[in-house]
Amino acid sequence: MIRDMSYGDSPVQTMDIYLPTDAHNAPILFLIHGGAWQFGDKRATGLIKTKMDRWLKQGFIIVSANYRLVPEVDPVTQTNDLALALKTIQKQAGAWGGDVDKCILLGHSAGAHLLALLTTNQAFSQQNSLRPWLGSLIIDSQVLDLVWLMQHKHVEFYDKAFGEQASYWQKASPINYVDANDLPMLVVCSLQRPYACDNSARFVDKVNDAGSKAELLKMDMTHNETLEEIGRDNAYTKSIEKFMSGLDPVVADHLSRPNDKK
């Protein structure tokens, strides 16, 4: 494990790298924590443990990054933090025994919103000279259509994160950037959260109508369970692995390897 590798000038801009034994051209899973854009940590047990238990033994490199939080920075700036982190991952992949072109990103809650914005708004990739990654796992975000949500009843922390200006809501709304060049996405939503699946379905439909590829997976789970159950031996994890396997044959090969946790 490599702890607290810096990817920027702020002491918060660090990431941990979990390395499998004898990594060689290994696929990389980049995890992005949630926390209402205002808190959260790269070492949260629900984010890390089940993913390591399942996929580290199958030869995946797992990376988890912190990013600056509200009110120090706004969500659009947080998205650029993640772009900087991914840029560092891509630069260091070979030294870790990883394959720079076999990276999958997973974000939960606020992290899912930031990942959706990073995936759809190609300006972040262009400005940071990012190579395309294989795909994005967007786990239970209510704000893929941010403008719609802010105009309906919502919890108070969204106001703290996104403010009162409709022009900023437009800027931070992933659905506004959807086009035919988006990378593949699997969008998971909790049926137990108001608006989550309606918001996600609108987003997925727009992605597919634009000519890109997105799949919607509705789960009868709590918000926390949509993250914590990933990596356990269940149908939910297998659905996620099916999507991952379809992204690249090397990923599919790693996922087919024996694992005593399965």
CATH number of the domain residue 148 falls in: 3.40.50.1820
User: Would residue 261 count as lying in a domain?
Assistant: no
204-227 pLDDT tens trace: 999 999 999 999 999 999 999 999
**Which pair of tokens denotes residue 140?**
């239970």
**Which pair of tokens denotes residue 133?**
């990654």
User: Would residue 26 count as lying in a domain?
Assistant: yes
Inter-axis angle of helices 110-120 and 75-96, nearest 10? 80
pLDDT confidence band for 178 (50 / 70 / 90): very high
Percent of the chain with pLDDT strictly greater than 70: 99
User: Would residue 260 count as lying in a domain?
Assistant: no
User: Would residue 223 count as lying in a domain?
Assistant: yes
Q: Give helix then strand counts, H and E, for the chain.
A: 11, 8
Degrees, nearest 5: CA angle 183-187-192: 170
User: Would residue 170 count as lying in a domain?
Assistant: yes
| pLDDT (0 to 100) of residue 261 | 54
Average pLDDT over residues 71-79: 98
Q: Residue 250 belongs to what domain range? A: 2-255
The total domain count for the chain is 1
Q: Residue 168 above 90 pLDDT? A: yes
Q: Residue 117 above 60 pLDDT? A: yes
The pTM of the full predicted model, rounded to 2 decimals, is 0.97
User: Would residue 262 count as lying in a domain?
Assistant: no
| pLDDT (0 to 100) of residue 260 | 63
**Which pair of tokens denotes residue 157?**
């922390």
pLDDT confidence band for 259 (50 / 70 / 90): confident
181-208 pLDDT tens trace: 999 999 999 999 988 999 999 999 999 9
pLDDT confidence band for 243 (50 / 70 / 90): very high
Burial degree of 250 (CB within 10 A; 0-12, 13-18, 19+): middle
